[in-house]
Amino acid sequence: MMKTFEELHALHSWEETTASIYNKTAADVEQALIASNPGLEDFKALISPAAEAYLEQMAVKSRAITQRRFGKTIQMYIPLYLSNACANACAYCGFSHDNDIKRITLSKEQVLEEIAVIKDMGFQHLLLVTGEHPKDCGYDYLKEMVELVKPHFPSLSIEVQPMKQEEYEGLIDTGLHTVYVYQETYHKDNYTSYHPRGKKSDFSYRLATPERLGKAHIHKIGIGCLLGLEDWRTDSFFTALHLNYLEKNFWRTKYSISFPRLRPHVGSFQPNVDVNDKQLAQLIMAYRIFNPDVDLSLSTRESKKFRNNMLQLGVTAMSAGSKTEPGGYAVYNKALEQFSVNDDRSPADMCQMIKEGGYEPVWKDWDACMQ
């Protein structure tokens, strides 16, 4: 019987993994840089403090690998926030149930107004986002929204509450292409302190979500951790471990890694760990060297300068013109945003930057019509 990822996760001590990463040497980094098929120990070396002296070599290799696998292209996407209703009490999120904010769940008519604005921007890849509220924006609502939106976009993704396998199958049959589900942190002992109430407090159920997606035969799964909760190096190792597991057991599915860093929001939570630009660049390049095939996505959480600099160093997808509150594009019923956007450039300005960098913005994911 196939070992679950939770069983594999339990075999790796958080403390021992952290020590292993911080004990990597320059020789380990040099070995990782010449490895023809880097493994998890090589990944540890590439995200270790010892690798900070090798960022230039990592950049050269990451750029070459990315161009060889993906060409000089950047996939363009945009999020559409459908609802900020949420039954969870996550310490770090503006949508937390504990925050006294105006809650909005968009109607069909409002969603059509939103997508009219988004289509005028040129986007063909749409990401639907909601808070995690089983009643206000649960499966029935999401299925209705996927059915409504799918005729307008060749590629449709969601970032919503974890669901059952059969519910994912229903959404896939309706036209869903990709699901993003972030564990936030793989530190099981500390997980509940960030997620004290709501369905999200169930560490095991959330951890098994990508496996349910794999069994449902989703086209692509996006995973990641929230940078700033725990040691970013250790959490990123567990993310890589998760990616490795999923690729081996659900090899027909494609995968994506995102790099959300904590951003300002309503509430008093402050990051426990600072992840600076240099460290985030190191992490992105380490993932590219470790896995040439995985999509790497960088959102408008990051600054203009950082996104410009990372254009050629491993990233394959970027959002633009993002609004993180329901109704943000059609300018009505303005609600609280989930987090503050950092890069506020228009899609046209982003495309100009990408072209000036020698790359081509890609609006449509042609995989959808080639399946």
Amino acid at 298: L
Q: What is the pLDDT of residue 2?
A: 64
pTM of the model: 0.94
| Cα separation, 322 vs 194, whole angstroms | 26
| Cα separation, 287 vs 293, whole angstroms | 10
Q: What is the pLDDT of residue 263?
A: 65
Higher pLDDT, 1 or 111: 111
Which secondary structure element, helix H or strand E, spans residue 176, and what is its range? none
Band (369; pLDDT cuts 50, 70, 90): very low
pLDDT mean over 299-307:
94
Q: Which of 157, 340, 142, 336 is nearest to 260 (CA)?
A: 340
Give the Å distances, CA to CA, from 181 to 24, 185, 220, 225.
30, 12, 11, 9
pLDDT mean over 92-114:
87
Q: What is the pLDDT of residue 201?
A: 96
173: Cα separation from own chain's centroid: 23
The strand pairing partners of 222, in sequence order, are: 180, 256
pLDDT mean over 227-244:
97
State both tokens at 70: 């993906």
pLDDT mean over 140-148:
97
Burial of 368 (0-12, 13-18, 19+ CB in 10 A): middle
Give the Å distances, CA to CA, from 243 to 181, 211, 217, 296.
12, 11, 16, 12
Band (89; pLDDT cuts 50, 70, 90): confident
Helix and strand element counts for the chain (H, E): 16, 9
Q: What is the pLDDT of residue 94?
A: 77
Neighbours of 293 (CB within 10 A): 11
Q: What is the pLDDT of residue 286?
A: 98
| For residue 1, pLDDT beyond 80 | no
State the Cα angle at 143 between 142 and 147, rounded to 5°. Answer: 115
Q: Whole-number mean pLDDT of the chain?
A: 92
| For residue 265, pLDDT beyond 60 | no
| For residue 71, pLDDT beyond 90 | yes
| For residue 112, pLDDT beyond 80 | yes
369: Cα separation from own chain's centroid: 24
Residues 6+ apart with CB under 8 A from 303: 277, 342, 343
pLDDT mean over 240-248:
98
Band (353; pLDDT cuts 50, 70, 90): very high
Which secondary structure element, helix H or strand E, spans residue 298, and what is its range? strand 295-298
DSSP, collapsed to helix, strand or coil, labels residue 115 as: helix
pLDDT mean over 247-269:
84
Band (337; pLDDT cuts 50, 70, 90): low
| Cα separation, 152 vs 339, whole angstroms | 27
Amino acid at 320: A
Q: Which of 8, 10, 14 is nearest to 236 (CA)?
A: 14
Residue 158's φ and ψ, nearest 5 degrees, are: -135, 150
Residue 68's φ and ψ, nearest 5 degrees, are: -70, -40
Q: What is the pLDDT of residue 339?
A: 55
Neighbours of 37 (CB within 10 A): 7
Higher pLDDT, 217 or 323: 217
Percent of the chain at pLDDT exceeding 70: 93
Band (212; pLDDT cuts 50, 70, 90): very high
Phi-psi region of 365 (alpha: psi -120 to 50; beta: other; left: phi over 0): beta
State both tokens at 249: 């057991």
The domain defined by 72-224+244-274+294-370 folds into TIM Barrel (3.20.20)
Neighbours of 197 (CB within 10 A): 14
pLDDT mean over 87-114:
87
Higher pLDDT, 331 or 319: 319
Alpha helices in the chain (DSSP H): 5-10, 14-22, 26-34, 40-47, 55-70, 108-121, 139-149, 165-174, 188-194, 203-207, 209-215, 232-249, 277-290, 304-310, 347-356, 367-370
Band (264; pLDDT cuts 50, 70, 90): low
State both tokens at 64: 């070459």
